[in-house]
């Protein structure tokens, strides 16, 4: 359960932010999630809903909003960028395989809303 690990990582970080800012309760967390990250959004939300209601007071009933980050791959031969989901590892412009993922594999806590 990779999603559970991510859930606890996010909860821990948000709780730290809440304590640093003297906030008693967080009602909404917005997470930016890369399209090709290994985290499945539906499973993450399931884990989240369980965890915030069982493991955290600061985050009880907190809503999780997931915003996707488009996956973009960069080609080091023709220096172009393209959509990773559509074309994978092979550059659609020059058919090179000398490509690397520029973005789309990350998860970032984008916004935290206190009530």
Per the annotation, binding residues are: 2, 75, 78, 91, 94
Using rule CB under 5 A, residue 93 touches Zn ion: yes
> Which strand ranges, in their side-by-side order, compose the sheet holding 72-75?
81-83, 72-75, 99-103
Using rule CB under 5 A, residue 91 touches Zn ion: yes
Using rule CB under 5 A, residue 78 touches Zn ion: yes
Q: Which long-range contacts (CB under 8 A, 24 or more apart) does 93-99 make?
A: 99/73, 99/74, 99/75
Using rule CB under 5 A, residue 58 touches Zn ion: no
Closer residue to Zn ion, CB minimum distance, 55 or 89: 89
Kindly give the pairing relationship between strand 81-83 and strand 63-69: unpaired
Using rule CB under 5 A, residue 96 touches Zn ion: yes
Q: Which residues bind Zn ion (CB under 5 A)?
A: 75, 77-78, 91, 93-94, 96
């Amino acid at each position: 359960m990779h999603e559970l690990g991510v859930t606890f990582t996010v909860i821990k970080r948000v709780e730290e932010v809440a304590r640093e800012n003297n906030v008693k309760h967080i009602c909404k967390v917005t997470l930016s999630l890369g399209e090709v990250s290994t985290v499945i959004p539906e499973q993450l939300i399931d884990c989240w809903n369980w965890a915030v209601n069982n493991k955290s007071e600061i985050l009880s009933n907190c809503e999780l909003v997931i915003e996707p980050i488009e996956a973009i791959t960069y080609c080091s031969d023709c220096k172009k960028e393209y959509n990773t989901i559509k074309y994978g590892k092979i550059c659609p412009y020059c058919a090179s395989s000398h490509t690397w993922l520029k973005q789309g594999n990350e998860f970032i806590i984008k916004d935290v809303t206190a009530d």
